[in-house]
Structure 1
Amino acid sequence: MSIRHQGTIKWFSEDKGFGFIIPQEGPDLFIHTNSFESRSFRGPNEGQLVSYQLIVGPKGFEAGQVRER
């Protein structure tokens, strides 16, 4: 079982299909529209609490399997 981390949506653009999460520790993490576990969880709001798993993307760590907290 993978470790889930907690964070807050910094911003997310549905038009661009990406945004960033402010994690509890470390630098901000990239989040892609395909990173959400649920297809119904679209267009998260700034300040929304989420949980996620760290994954390695093309430019380093990013958030994956994101879900509402």
Structure 2
Amino acid sequence: MHTGTVKWFNNAKGYGFILSSDGTTDIFAHYSAITMEGYKTLKAGQEVTYDLVEGEKGLHATNIAAAGSTVTQNDDLQPPSLDVESDTVSDH
């Protein structure tokens, strides 16, 4: 796993570049390699983690995620229930 900073990302075209943490390499980033939930985009200056793959046109990032983010699944989490009688929300 590598870390770097998003140099730029074009939402309309769905790609951009990440600057490696040592500041020496630009790495191609495609929206399909972003592992975040929801709308898959990156912002200039954003710190990210990623894996590297050597492609025909050079290095590109895979498994791109915001640095410090952890995606976990917790089956114990339940949404709060609405108490219709008193119009209050309870946490079970």
Q: So what's the TM-score if we normalise by structure 2?
A: 0.65
- Give the deviation of 1:40 after TM superposition: 2.1
Question: 1:41–1:67: 8 Å Cα contact kept in structure 2?
Answer: no
Q: 2:27 — aligned with what?
A: 29
- Give the deviation of 1:38 after TM superposition: 2.5
Q: Looking at secondary structure, tell me which structure has more strand per residue.
A: 1
Superposition pairs for residues 1-69 of structure 1, below 5 Å? 4-25=1-22, 26-40=24-38, 42-69=40-67
| Structure whose alpha-carbon radius of gyration is higher | 2
- Could you say what secondary structure the match of 1:38 adopts? coil
* Higher RCO (CA 8 Å, separation ≥ 6 residues): 1
Runs of 4+ with >4 A deviation: none
- Give the deviation of 1:57 after TM superposition: 2.1
CA distance in 2, matches of 1:29, 1:39: 22
The count of corresponding residues between Structure 1 and Structure 2 is 66
- Could you say what secondary structure the match of 1:34 adopts? helix
Q: Cα deviation per residue 1:23-48 (whole Å; 9 max; x = unaligned)?
A: 01331000001011124252211100
RMSD: 1.4
Instruction: Return closer, same or farther for 1:41/1:24 CA change in 2, 3 Å cut-off.
Output: farther
